Structures are given as C-alpha cells and as structure tokens.
Amino acid sequence: MVLYAAYASNMDPTQMSRRAPHSPPAGSGWLPGWRLTFGGEELGWDGALATIVEDPTAAVFVMLYDVTDTDAQALEEWEGVDIGLYRRLRVRVHSLTGEHSARVYVLDGYEGGLPSTRYLGILAEAAERAGAPQDYVEALRARPARSPAGDPR
C-alpha cells in the first residue's frame, strides 16, 4: 500500500473508486509549499490540465487514499506516467492526524494555459465532495477558464 494525495478530479471519492476500486479514502489534508495550477494546454485536450508547482506561500487541499499496488499501477496508467504526461513525486501532507509522506502526480510540462470551464467545474465539485473548505471551492470556481468555444471567459 502507498498513500496517494489527490488534488484534482480524484479528490472525489466516487471518481476515485472507479479508478482505484480497492483503495479506500484515508482522510484529507493540505500540501503546504505547493499551489494548484494548470499546464499542458498544447497537448490537445479542451484546455490545460491540473498540476501542482512548488510555492512557499501556498497550500493545496488534497484527499488521501491508501492505494494498493494493483490500483497504483492503474492510476499510473490513468495519469499517463508511462507516456511521460505526469511524473510521480513524494511529498509531505499535513492532516488532522499528523504529517504523512504521500505520492502525487505532477504534469511533466510547462505551467501555463487555461483549463476548460467543464474541467474546472469537475475539479470544484470534486473538492467540494472531498470536504474542502468553501473558500477553497469558491476560489476554484472563480479561476479563469476557457469557454466551450475555446475563448477565455
């Protein structure tokens, strides 16, 4: 088993149960010294993809999961680790039960670009379902995004 810290759509326990069915939620916490951002807009999706970057003044809300070896392999395939889309890192997460070492997946590309409004909505709903503070969810919903036609809103 490995502890996984989800900061994007995998924060939603229902979503995660489809991607890693044998890996239960293990609480939530904060990833201090990192901030949520977007990149990979040039990769052909309908907008930029969620990632995190180091930032000593920020913190990212995460949902923690105890991931089995089988589910870890499936997550790596889902995240595109094998094709170089995301890479795996170890980080320190602060939760109500203490500090934990956890795995995250970080976009292996440059920061920049706008996510689609649809994708940003999915992230905000996932954060809400994971129990993120309301101001964190509202800040996600208020971020600039691309409309379905590709124009910034």
Identify the CATH number of the domain in which residue 55 sits. Answer: 3.10.490.10
Element (H, E) at 103: strand 98-107
Cα–Cα dist 118/49, whole Å = 12
pTM for this model (two decimals)? 0.91
Instruction: Give the domain extent around 95.
Output: 2-141
What is the count of structural domains for the chain? 1
Residue 26 contacts residue 66 (beta carbons within 8 Å): yes
pLDDT (tens digit, 9 = 90+) per residue, 43-64? 766 789 999 999 999 999 999 9
pLDDT (tens digit, 9 = 90+) per residue, 119-144? 999 999 999 999 999 999 999 999 99
What percent of the chain is predicted at pLDDT more than 90? 82
Cα–Cα dist 149/151, whole Å = 6
Q: Is the pLDDT score of 24 beyond 70?
A: yes
Q: Does residue 148 fall inside a structural domain?
A: no
Q: Does residue 150 fall inside a structural domain?
A: no
Cα–Cα dist 39/14, whole Å = 25
What percent of the chain is predicted at pLDDT more than 70? 95
